[in-house]
Amino acid sequence: MGLEKLESHEGVAVKTLLDSRAMGLFIDTTFAREKGFKMERLKNPLLVKNVDGTVNIGGAITHQVKCNMFFKGHVERVRMGVYNLEKTEVILGMLWLAAHNPEIDWEKGEVRMMHYPPICGKRKQEGKREVKRTKKDEDEEVLRE
């Protein structure tokens, strides 16, 4: 998977964990800083709770990163909470998983994007043409040679 910084349009490859126990999208604090992502302070910090309902000792999420996310022909604008994920760079949680419903082949360790929610853009190569679905009109296709 890749992330694109909105300011510079620089692409960054990331190791991503699909985690149905997490609710949101998260990016590791150290990774975000080292790769130069712009971190925006949240007006209202988000409390982080453990699976058992207790408050996480890592504290609240106080910043977010906005970027474009790319994965096998799928592209979308995302907001990720910045948090100490230790050895994980990015986590895609249950809200994202439920909205996108990716097909997972557990034996091969492969993830396929077969479902594209209306909120997402979609690009895929068809011969020499690029097909792009816009947010404004899901049915509108812009074909470029």
130 part of a folded domain: no
The predicted pLDDT at position 91 comes to 95
123 part of a folded domain: no
78 part of a folded domain: yes
- Domain of residue 93 covers 2-115
122 part of a folded domain: no
Taking the chain (145 residues) in consecutive chunks of 10 residues, what is each chunk's mean pLDDT? 94 93 93 96 91 84 95 87 93 89 86 71 41 35 29
Q: Is 101 helix (H, G, I), strand (E, B) or coil?
A: coil
44 part of a folded domain: yes
What CA–CA distances, in Å, run from 39 to 34, 80, 111, 124?
12, 10, 29, 30
Q: How many domains does the chain have?
A: 1
The three-point CA angle 58-65-35 to 5° equals 90
Rounded distance, CA 125 to CA 39, Å?
32
* CATH code, domain with 86: 2.40.70.10
73 part of a folded domain: yes
